[in-house]
Chain A
Amino acid sequence: MKLQTAFFCILLCLTGLLSFFGCSDSEEPSALSLLNVSYDPTRELYQALNKAFVEQCDHEGLSGVVVEQSHGGSGKQARAVLDGLEADVVTLALGYDIDVLCSQGHLIPADWQSRLPHNSSPFYSTIVFLVRRGNPKGIADWGDLIHDGVEVITPNPKTSGGARWNYLAAWAWAERKYGSEAAAQDFLATLFSHVPVLDTGARGATNTFIQQGKGDVLLAWENEALLVLRDYPDQGCEIVHPSLSIRAEPPVALVDANADAHGSRSLAEKYLNFLYTDTAQAIGAAQFYRPIRPEAAAAEDMARFRPLAMVSIDDFGGWSAAHAKHFAADGIYDHLPRKRNP
């Protein structure tokens, strides 16, 4: 009998807890708080930038500013915003994911990319190879990735923005090297047959390569590769710059519908403009992102960025065209012949 009483006491306690926590719900979005929905490898970047931004606001007498962060695969994040995640600003891996907010959700105007300088991209990066200590497989360029016994780690182009840049860079190289689209398609099919793991996001791929020790080459954002060199010095990884890469521009945008609903438009605009200031550009360079105004960054930070031949998304006719051709359902990526890794 006592156990039954005890049981009901537990139930009562739980109900009490419920009412207690039910009342103490977290703060609502206000004009002084921003939600920045970002992609995967920018965790460290925005941590540093948000700190600087809040300090600057404090300095100007605007206290109590809070910037909240959400990180994940670029496509996943855009989908969340589309479904109702109330981001004031989005900072995603590629323009297409922001285009979708306009075309499918009508959350932002169609001309979003021309509202801020440099295609709304305060920083850019590129795609490089990360190899194991001493480059045992002798990787020098894209063509070496499909040699026998080489395992390549890249995230899934279906879900990861970084992986799409990887894919397009490989495509651009192969098209120039072999001179035809069919050959490029064949090269990518072979390349993906060397991929043993497809993670959903760039950070997941990095973890697979570094912490699980899987694979010989990681196709990575340059910022991610440099971060690995800094954080895992004992792994002795090396960066290999391919003969041709791509100028990977992760754009930023104000989500008009949400910012207007929260009354945070002016703060959000201030935040995005802040990304172009000297302070932010210097922070970006220190966090391994190439700044659009190199003069603002410290010289030793800039020294890390090797000059590199790059194509840009415009060579693919812009993101809408590239997406429709390569990544949409039934696009080229879906129809790459599945080859077995020998």
Chain B
Amino acid sequence: MSRSLANSNASSQSAHRLAMGLGLTYMSLLVLMPIAGLLLRSIQLPPGEYLRVLQAPETMAAFRLSFGHAFLAALFNTVTGVPVAWVLARYAFPGKRLLDVWIDLPFALPTAVAGIALCTLYGPHGFLGAPLAKLGLKVAYTHWGVFIAMSFVSIPFVIRTVQPALLNLDPSQEEAAACLGASRLYCLRRVILPELLPSILTGFSMAFARDIGEYGSIIFIAGNIPGETEILPLRIVHALECYDYAGATVLAIAMMVASFLLLLLINLLQKRQTS
């Protein structure tokens, strides 16, 4: 018995290691190698290049716009996504399944199509754009357009990570809390929210990461004016198309490092939450 136990333990350990090894090899070849290539290029560049590219006021503005609006959009989707996930997980109502299917649409709609659709909708003569313009809020071709496009493409992330966590939640804890006389709100804050926090953070970080990199949908609806509505990925494209490979490399590296650090931070936060 003990021998077979040791055997099975060892065999499952080695199976995990094998899976891990295969997966990591694949990831290294597909993801890490190209990134290493980019890093290699970037160290060959003189430091002056970095200064030239990063100190440009338009670059700074693009950084602020991309990261700032990605944060706002992810935050917006977190605040609105949790109630939607709650509704989908907890309540029964007619049309619920239909609602559920729609949520994934931003994933199914290619970004360019989303951009075109949003632009027609929020454009100066669009269905939503015209009334909003009357109210004095221009959306298309302003930084609000960036926000709208980012919000659209990252809607599903928070909902889809929180929803299964809500379904897996043990109701007995809530019932216990309720029996002990806790108010619904107190229960929500003290019992449910802590349980949900890891998945909320995961959803937020996925949405945030996706928004920083988003390109296809934004370029259609943002004005793309340098220093005002030009997002960072577009700046890279512009550098590339002026044969400025050095500039594109610097921007790509800066963007990658910044988003990697942010993600690492969020992952660490999550670790603190879960432990």
Contacts and interface: CB of A to CB of B under 8 A. Distances in A.
Q: Do chains A and B touch in the complex (CB under 8 A)?
A: yes
Interface of A: 73, 75-76, 78-79, 82, 100, 104, 156, 158-159, 195-200, 211-214, 327-330, 334, 338
Majority SS of interface residues in chain A?
loop
Q: Mostly helix, strand, loop or mixed at chain B's interface?
A: loop
Contact of B241 (A76, A213, A338): A76
A223 B71 CA distance: 43
A159 B141 contact: no
A196 B230 CA distance: 12
Contacts of B226: 198, 338
B224 A199 contact: yes
Contacts of A328: 242
B175 interface: no
A75 B123 contact: no
Given A196-B141, A212-B120, A214-B140, A158 B224 contact: no
Among A73, A100, A211, A329, chain B packs the most CB atoms within 10 A around the CB of A329
A327 B242 contact: yes
Contacts of B56: 334
Contact of B247 (A78, A156, A159, A329): A329
Given A104-B243, A196-B141, A327-B242, A213 B125 contact: yes
A211 B120 CA distance: 8
A215 to B, nearest CB: 9
B225 interface: yes
B241 A198 contact: no
Interface of B: 52, 56-57, 119-120, 123-126, 140-141, 219, 223-227, 230, 237-244, 247
5 contacts: A79-B240, A198-B226, A213-B123, A213-B125, A329-B244
A156 B238 contact: yes
A76 B230 CA distance: 18
Contacts of B239: 329
A330 B224 contact: no
B14 to A, nearest CB: 24
Contacts of A197: 141, 223-225
A334 B124 CA distance: 29
B75 to A, nearest CB: 27
A159 B224 CA distance: 12
Nearest to B61: A338
A330 B56 CA distance: 10
B125 A158 contact: no
A338 B226 CA distance: 9
A60 to B, nearest CB: 39
A330 B239 CA distance: 12
Contacts of B227: 338
Contacts of A75: 241-243
4 interchain residue pairs of minimum CB distance: A75-B241, A212-B123, A197-B223, A213-B125
